[in-house]
């Protein structure tokens, strides 16, 4: 029987791309140094890659779903230019006071990714720059990484993550056993 595919669920802002306060312009999208090659290595190693991102800017009226789709189209194109294929992008468009089950740290987006791709959360990894990413990973039984990029430095000293690392490439090195 083949081994189930392992997945890495990755936060977007501050983890994959440079943190911008409510990024609403595709032209402002900028990958964090080293992210493209790191994600390409994950893909070549057989890992699935899904982006999971709270996007309360929609609920707050800063941008709409069409604009978010433009941002994600640009992100996918930037990553594709680096040889990276993304298996899915999962969003929560709700605000912090909305009663939804998808806003991190709740597991709605991860549950949807698991349903779509059939992976075992206990064999998966969650990487993000906020403690809500870590809490989501813990809720589904995944290995967790807090990166110090984006907002990560704010949480680094008190994080309950399995690993606190400099950035996404450093997390990939550990995932792939290259430390």
Q: Using CA atoms, how far apart are residues 72 and 81, in angstroms rounded to an integer?
A: 14
Of the candidates 136, 64, 127, 73, the residue with the CA atom closest to the CA atom of residue 103: 136
- Asked whether residue 4 carries a pLDDT value surpassing 80, the answer given is no
Ranges of H-type helices in 60-164: 65-81, 108-117, 131-140, 152-156
The token duo for 144 is 């967790």
Q: Within a 10 A sphere around the Cβ of 82, how many other Cβ atoms? A: 13
Q: Verify whether residue 133 is a known catalytic residue.
A: no
> Where do the DSSP E strands lie in the chain?
7-10, 48-54, 88-92, 125-128, 143-147, 163-165
Per-residue pLDDT of 11-34, as tens digits, reads 999 999 999 999 999 999 999 999
The whole-number average pLDDT for the span 46-71 is 97
SS3 170: helix
- Residue 122: CB atoms within 10 Å: 9
Res 51 pLDDT > 70 = yes
Alpha carbon distance 95, 112 (integer Å): 19
Q: How confident is the model at residue 69 (pLDDT cuts 50, 70, 90)?
A: very high
Question: Does position 1 have pLDDT exceeding 70, yes or no?
Answer: no
Give yes or no for a contact between 90 and 117, defined as CB atoms under 8 angstroms apart: no
pLDDT for the residue 133? 98
179 pLDDT more than 80: no
Q: Domains of the chain, with CATH numbers?
A: 7-175 (3.40.50.1000)
Query: At 88, phi and psi to the nearest 5?
Result: 180, 155
Q: Is the pLDDT of residue 65 over 70?
A: yes
Over residues 91-115, mean pLDDT: 96
Whole-angstrom distance, CA of residue 129 vs CA of residue 120 = 23
Is the pLDDT assigned to residue 35 strictly greater than 90? yes
- pTM exceeds 0.85: yes
Q: Note the pLDDT of residue 2.
A: 64
Q: What is the pLDDT of residues 159-172, one digit of tens each?
A: 999 999 999 999 99
pLDDT in tens, 121-147: 999 999 999 999 999 999 999 999 999
13 carries an active-site annotation: yes
pLDDT value at 111 more than 90: yes
């Amino acid at each position: 029987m083949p081994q189930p595919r392992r997945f890495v669920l990755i936060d977007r802002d501050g983890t994959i791309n440079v943190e911008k306060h409510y990024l609403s312009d595709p032209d402002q999208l900028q990958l964090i140094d080293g992210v493209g090659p790191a994600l390409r290595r994950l893909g070549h190693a057989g890992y699935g890659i899904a982006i999971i991102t709270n996007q309360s800017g929609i609920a707050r009226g800063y941008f709409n779903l069409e604009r978010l789709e433009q941002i994600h189209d640009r992100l996918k194109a930037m990553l594709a230019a680096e040889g990276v294929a993304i298996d899915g992008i999962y969003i929560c468009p709700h605000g912090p006071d909305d009663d939804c089950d998808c806003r991190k740290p709740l597991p709605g987006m991860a549950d949807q990714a698991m349903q779509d791709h059939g992976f075992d959360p206990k064999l998966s990894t969650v990487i993000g720059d906020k403690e809500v990413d870590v809490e989501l990973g813990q809720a589904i039984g995944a290995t967790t990484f807090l990166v110090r990029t984006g907002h990560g430095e704010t949480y680094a000293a008190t994080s309950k993550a399995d690993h606190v690392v400099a950035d996404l490439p450093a997390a990939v090195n550990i995932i792939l056993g290259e430390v």
